[in-house]
Amino acid sequence: MEKERKHLQELYTLASGYQISSVLFEALRLGIFSAIGERSVSLKALAERVKVSETALKRFLGVLQALGLIEHSGNRYGNARLAGKYLSQHSMTYCGDLFIHNETLMRPWSQLHQCLKKGSMLTPPGSVLKRYPQQLRRYLLSMHAAGRIKSALISRAVPMKNYHCMLDVGGGMGTYAAAFSQINKNLSATVYDLQPVVPHAKRYIRHCGLEARVHVVAGECLAEPFPAEPYDLVFISNVLHMYAAAEVRKLIKKAAKTLVKKGTLLIHDYIAGTGNPVAVALFDMTMLVGTPAGRCHEQEELGRWMLSAGLSDIKTAEVGGGSSIIFGTRKK
């Protein structure tokens, strides 16, 4: 009987995943964790702060408590450690934007059935394309939220102190270029991304006071040449999964060519065959429903493409949250 109960619970947990994410998205949208902050608050005060019905909020907080995100004592509610550290905007390590972005994926995910039939994503309606500027900002903020944490994890696996000149291909807001340049004061970096992203990156680099060492250049990394300069580090983070194998091979070759001898190509991505298998497999489905030809490329094939581009000493390491790095050195 115990076994059946356990099996049923496992299946029930799988089937109610969307309900858990709906609760998390709503809590973030209402700003519950930020409204609670570092101290505990009464139910009444919290309901006033987030402007919802007190009785409904009590029930809603019950779910957050059951999920281990909120603590409750008497009539007062406080953030549990995890929520206080990552989901309250008062925390230095806030990354709620990352999860708010996940909510925008619900629309393409709702088309999973049609995408499985068709074998690729459906054409998005015009209304989605119209919201592009707001979506781009939200998207970049979510990448930034993850990047602030993951840049520290990556620089532990690949020490930044040895590099002088870095190219960050599809660098987004410049989160990694800025973080690595803050670690190594002798590093100068070029963030290379599509034109609409450039103002966002420039703003962030200015905010960090790094304009003298971190430059932002607009361009399309597949069709246009990289900003000319040999680099001793080319970083490609969360870009390759958007493209099919032929483009990825081309990009790896191009990146390897721009490196000086003994320079490093460092790829950060959701890589099949390494990292949390559930996170990677789900990410692969996100690429199926959300990109024309993207997917999580295999660790083995990425390694092979790097070798054939003239790189050697290929290594892989897990970063966290599903993503990993694979990196190699240019031989000559």
Ligand X SMILES: C[S@@+](CC[C@H](N)C(=O)[O-])C[C@H]1O[C@@H](n2cnc3c(N)ncnc32)[C@H](O)[C@@H]1O
Q: From the CB of 156, what's the least distance to ligand X, in Å?
A: 17
Of the ranges 43-51, 169-177, 255-263, 298-306, which one interacts with ligand X (CB under 6 A)?
A: 169-177
Q: Of 238, 264, 274, 329, which one interacts with ligand X (CB under 6 A)?
A: 238
Q: Of 24, 121, 166, 221, which one interacts with ligand X (CB under 6 A)?
A: 221
Q: Which is nearer to ligand X, 211 or 220 (CB)?
A: 220
171 binds ligand X, rule: CB under 6 A: yes
Q: Is 128 left (phi over 0), alpha (psi -120 to 50) or beta?
A: alpha
Q: Which is nearer to ligand X, 40 or 142 (CB)?
A: 142
Give the footprint of ligand X on residues 131-160 (CB under 6 A): 143, 147
Q: Which is nearer to ligand X, 230 or 292 (CB)?
A: 292
- Rounded to an integer, what is the distance from CA 83 to the centroid of its chain? 18
d(CA 311, CA 306): 5
* Count of chain residues binding ligand X (CB under 6 A): 16
Q: From the CB of 175, what's the least distance to ligand X, in Å?
A: 6
d(CA 17, CA 49): 28
> What stretch of H or E contains 281?
helix 277-290
Strands 259-269 and 323-330: antiparallel
Q: Of 222, 230, 244, 308, which one interacts with ligand X (CB under 6 A)?
A: 222
Q: Of 172, 294, 303, 328, which one interacts with ligand X (CB under 6 A)?
A: 172
Determine the Cα angle at 31 with ends 27 and 34, to 5°: 115
Strands 70-73 and 76-79: antiparallel
Q: How many helices and strands, by DSSP H and E, does the chain display?
A: 16, 10
Q: From the CB of 241, what's the least distance to ligand X, in Å?
A: 8
Q: From the CB of 192, what's the least distance to ligand X, in Å?
A: 6
Name the CA dihedral angle for 39, 45, 50, 54, rounded to a multiple of 10 degrees. 130
Q: Which is nearer to ligand X, 178 or 221 (CB)?
A: 221
Which of 174, 185, 190 is closest to 233 using CA atoms? 190
Of the ranges 80-88, 108-116, 235-243, 276-284, which one interacts with ligand X (CB under 6 A)?
A: 235-243
Q: Which is nearer to ligand X, 77 or 180 (CB)?
A: 180
Using an 8 Å Cβ cutoff, are 84 and 33 in contact? yes
Q: Which is nearer to ligand X, 143 or 306 (CB)?
A: 143
Determine the Cα angle at 64 with ends 61 and 68, to 5°: 135
Give the footprint of ligand X on residues 188-207 (CB under 6 A): 193-194, 197
Q: From the CB of 218, what's the least distance to ligand X, in Å?
A: 9
d(CA 20, CA 64): 9
- Rounded to an integer, what is the distance from CA 26 to the centroid of its chain? 20
Of the ranges 63-71, 208-216, 238-246, 273-281, which one interacts with ligand X (CB under 6 A)?
A: 238-246
38 binds ligand X, rule: CB under 6 A: no
220 binds ligand X, rule: CB under 6 A: yes
Which of 216, 181, 177, 224 is closest to 198 using CA atoms? 216
The phi and psi torsions of 264 (rounded to 5 degrees) equal -115, 135
Q: From the CB of 263, what's the least distance to ligand X, in Å?
A: 19
Of the ranges 38-46, 79-87, 165-173, 257-265, which one interacts with ligand X (CB under 6 A)?
A: 165-173
The phi and psi torsions of 169 (rounded to 5 degrees) equal -80, 125
Q: From the CB of 124, what's the least distance to ligand X, in Å?
A: 16
d(CA 58, CA 48): 13
97 binds ligand X, rule: CB under 6 A: no
Q: Which residues bind ligand X (CB under 6 A)?
A: 143, 147, 170-172, 175, 193-194, 197, 220-222, 237-239, 242
